[in-house]
Amino acid sequence: MSETRSKSPSRRRHRRRRTALLAGVPLALTSAGAMAYGGVFGVFGADAQPKASAASSTASALAGVTDVANGFASVNALGQNGTYGGRNGQTVTVKTLADLEKYATASEPYIIVVAATINMNPVGKEIKVASDKTIIGAGTSGHIVGGGFFLGQGVHNVIIRNLTIRDAYQGVWNDKEHDFDAIQMDGAHHVWIDHNDLRHMADGLIDSRKDTTYLTVSWNKLSQENKAFGIGWTENTTADITIHHNWIRETEQRNPSTDNVAHAHLYNNFLEDEAGTTIKSSYGNYSRGKTNMVLENSYFQGMTNPVVRDATATLVQRGNVFSGTTGKNESGGSGAAWDPKTYYSYTPDKAADVPALLKSGAGPRSSVAKVSSTATTTAAAATTLTVAADGSGQYRTVQAAVNAVPANNASRVVISVKPGTYRELVKVPSNKPHVTIQGSGGSRKDTTIVYNNASGTPKPDGSGTYGTGGSATVAVDADDFQARNLTISNDFDEAAHQDIANQAVALRTSADKVLLDSVIISGDQDTLLVDTASKDKLGRVYITNSYVVGNTDFIFGRATAVIDKSVITLKKRWNGTSAGYVTAPSTAANRKGILIANSTINGDVSDRSFFLGRNWHAGGDATLDPQTTVRNTTLSAAIKTTPWSDMGGFSWKEDRFAEYQNKGTGAGAASTDRPQLTDAQAAGQEIADWLGDWTPSAS
């Protein structure tokens, strides 16, 4: 800030339900590689051809990636010859929820190309997909946010590919109230889930339940979730499932948990428990019930209990690599041995090669061919600039890519940053709107932009110090800016530099319509400065599905800012003490300030040591009317029972500070020291009231 301030501040057992027995014995055990497969978005037999609409509008599904279903999804059984999705149907491109639902639930076959970010309404909605469908993302632009897909009893011949399905998270890690999955299947068969990015949902990422069979799950990223992939919910032991080349990381359990599966073939998967994160695995691959599992050529990094087997289950291991793992690593059992190659052909990769293969190849691929649309008009594609510190991109630094954006550009420019640590200062000037900076890795932790300037750091040219705003690692002055899937950090060492002003900003925004989606913003004091270009200018910022980390006034400024469905992490001070303030708004009168909604505030700090905020009258300006509202948010015991504080001689009670329907051990009843909104007041303090005529949308 511009004024000097004081530096002191169970694992739940799968529910089993009896369901009708599905025939589980493979019929024609035809090799996928030997069949007359080929063509667009799926599998074509010798006597089948795609309709002209599909063939003419799409050249290929994924460049360099097979279009042929493999594993158990390729086996002929239950009257279905392999899995080919909507091969005989019309190709449509969808960009709205209404169109996606219309075609996904239709009785006739369709190839449905998702070419935009589609937000589920209500949150948690799962579209009931009908048989004979291919649902595929166009490049990396197909995002399903806040919900997913449901395949019910008897639904068959479905391909879900190249999509990002994310962010139905409701602020509770082991969420037993919201059954919001990315993909749930109850009694379906012949399903291929391939090259998707599934993350940050409320309950689980994939649920294969009630005898779902002839399922292949391949080349997906599964992350940022308590429960990754659960299989079972049945007394029957009939299902046949192939799970290969999946990168499972930042998950705790069900990685997968495989209950009562007749033939479970897991190979070339990469299970990673990253050191230094708060998410710890409780187990990895689990053969439970009467499952008969073959587990081969997979790579387990840092996992706790990497391989677990029930006494009633069978598990055969071969060729796996275990690095830094602890706890159970089991195999054995009395079940009959079986060989996956009697059902389909496959050639596993070497286990040692799996991490590199999946880091580069799992998840959505960018080279999906453009298609014509009968549902919507496809928007002009964004320009993409690539950044890689190793020289494999167009630019080695993020700032070099920003410099390459033309002044006053009229359309979106995406700066795709490969995994790595970029120690640099980045500034997006006001004459370069419509810029997106996004990490291309599997996690927002993979790509980090970091620097260590503080307010009191001397400038190299000897012209003074940077000041608070000038200390930012990333500074955004351009409207319509977006950041996704990366970390922005300021790692200034307060302990080593107590001689200078230690406000150290990670990200500063002074623009309108700023969208921060799935990012980590990390620092100590003054982490995130949400500002405006001037006192009379509007500046709106929407932050979702993200983490903000700090200790003193670490979300501050005069912008109209919303933090939604995110985690605010409280951090101890440099000397190990717990004391701080979450927000310090400096809102202009008649403007909206900072809104924290549907989120979680917690951290490894002492109980009752943090204020929710204090009122910053920047420069002693008595005309300001600072505002913070915290609503529908889970508060840990770190929050003080009197959560608001005065600042700079101004009483917070003369400004705008309130809560509404918060929960958790840090929540409290209404009092003169803890104002609560009435229902009527809360109706006027919704997210839409903050954002006005702007509806944030990833692009």
Residues with active-site annotation: 526, 553
Cα(169)–Cα(566) distance, rounded to whole angstroms?
9
For 65-188, where are the E strands, in sequence order?
76-77, 80-81, 90-94, 110-114, 117-119, 126-128, 133-137, 143-145, 148-151, 156-161, 164-166, 183-186
Q: What is the DSSP string of 202-225?
A: SSEEEEEETT-EEEEEES-EEEEE
For 33-88, where are the E strands, in sequence order?
76-77, 80-81
Residue 165 near residue 148, CB atoms below 8 Å:
yes
Distance of CA 253 to the CA centre of its chain: 17
For 104-176, where are the E strands, in sequence order?
110-114, 117-119, 126-128, 133-137, 143-145, 148-151, 156-161, 164-166
Count other C-beta atoms under 10 Å from residue 352's C-beta: 12
Residues ≥6 apart with Cβ < 8 Å to 30: 75, 76
Phi and psi at residue 399, to the nearest 5°: -65, -35
Cα(85)–Cα(94) distance, rounded to whole angstroms?
17
Burial class (CB in 10 A: 0-12, 13-18, 19+), 18: exposed
For 499-649, where are the E strands, in sequence order?
507-509, 514-522, 528-530, 540-544, 547-550, 552-557, 560-564, 567-570, 580-585, 594-597, 600-603, 610-614, 627-631, 634-635, 644-645
Indicate the SS3 state at residue 324: coil
* CA gyration radius, the chain: 26
Indicate the SS3 state at residue 73: helix
Residue 303 near residue 271, CB atoms below 8 Å:
yes
User: Token pair of 681, please?
Assistant: 């007041």
User: Quick one: which of 655, 648, 660, 669 has its CA closest to 689?
Assistant: 660
Amino acid found at 1: M
User: Quick one: which of 546, 554, 598, 596 has its CA closest to 572?
Assistant: 554
User: Token pair of 310, please?
Assistant: 């029930």
Burial 87-107 (b: 16+ CB within 10 A, else e): bbbbbbbbbebebbbbbbebe
Residue 188 near residue 219, CB atoms below 8 Å:
no
Distance of CA 80 to the CA centre of its chain: 34
Q: What residue has token string 């935009």? A: 116
Instruction: List 676's β-bridge partners, or say none.
Output: 659
